[in-house]
Structure 1
């Protein structure tokens, strides 16, 4: 099975073409954009397919990073993945940024429980906990720094994500932590490998742990016509 993975959850706009049967990457394209994922994603996908020597018709599955991360970037990637899935009549599989970071931590450190934590600003931490086999122990959610530190102090675990150092420094007891990647997202190949091992289920949905910052201005809302 040939799988296409895409990720726009952070500053990167990334695509990977992965041969699930051989367990190897065939091609990739990664651009560090910050913004503008919607304008670049199709070109990035095209570059990855061209490097792999693969056409859209050869794809058997789509994988996508579902967040948490950039509200706009996640929406762009998930919408594209669902569009590819519908057009190509192949399943789409979602992988969260937190489970991908936890998987990279286990690949680096060996089997271990991982607290994957992202600094979401506003004194919020977006976090989840995964066991040594990658099973979720605590679903992705919004925590205060104190709450995240309490979880980290409660047992033996490694830390990963942009808030990993913050959480470690906030732990009150003297405790040494092992660290995985302290990044906002994982390597695109990690998303592909995780998705290759998942059973397709419901269509991917963005993981939004808080409401978007942009809201409609009430002053411009037109009154409804009364009937």
Structure 2
């Protein structure tokens, strides 16, 4: 497979603003800036800085990668909307990558990946030794969740790796790649012209109920 030109990846699905630029097989720039809020204002300047640091422009990009969650509703919307707009404007493919899959990239064996979903819950997904997802991701209570079938003694990664390793007999290991770098590498593998636009991966129901329609006005 011929390596793509520059691939820009970014993520705001958690309490950070993160970006990386992959060129051929090398990560040229990688940034993760912790922040609880303000991602909408920081994302585009951060991307401009990443491009400037490598000396390339928007028109040089051949693909985009974006984190689609699971995670913070607002954060996911920020990055996915930006990726869709940039993809249209630059006429390049946009690859949506889940945080769980990105964390599992490069794991040397069956992996059980977790993210803290708050309120005693976790986002969970199991991956085979080849990195293939064994089932769709789920949100479930940390203490009672049915663990995805990864076989005996999986590699446990992510926020709740110690708890899951205790329950599964697995081993705690760190992700092989920082999050934005993993998103960029997966995007480079999957980019093709006919990809549909990326869609957010929401596993938690929205906290806010949709607005009710106004009652009809009766006229005599």
Determine if the alignment matches structure 1 residue 206 to structure 2 residue 208: no
The match for 1:178 is 171
Determine if the alignment matches structure 1 residue 52 to structure 2 residue 54: yes
Task: Report the RMSD for the aligned CA atoms in angstroms.
Answer: 2.4
Greater mean alpha carbon deviation, residues 22-31 or residues 93-102: 22-31
Q: Provide TM-score, normalisation by structure 2.
A: 0.86
Aligned equivalents of 1:27, 1:128: Cα separation in 2: 29
Aligned equivalents of 2:128, 2:186: Cα separation in 1: 15
Q: Is the 8 A contact 2:126 2:149 kept in 1?
A: no
The match for 2:21 is 17
Alpha carbons of structure 1 residues 122 and 30: separation in structure 2 relative to 1, 3 Å: closer
Number of positions where the alignment pairs a residue of Structure 1 with one of Structure 2: 212
Alpha carbons of structure 1 residues 145 and 154: separation in structure 2 relative to 1, 3 Å: farther
Determine if the alignment matches structure 1 residue 142 to structure 2 residue 139: yes
The match for 2:111 is 114
Q: Which has the higher helix share?
A: 1
Any gaps of 5 or more consecutive residues in structure 1?
A: none
Q: Is the 8 A contact 1:28 1:47 kept in 2?
A: no
Aligned equivalents of 2:146, 2:71: Cα separation in 1: 21
Matches within 5 A, 1:66-85: 66-85=68-87
Alpha carbons of structure 1 residues 226 and 52: separation in structure 2 relative to 1, 3 Å: farther
Any gaps of 5 or more consecutive residues in structure 2?
A: none
Determine if the alignment matches structure 1 residue 190 to structure 2 residue 182: yes
**What displacement does 1:88 show?**
0.6
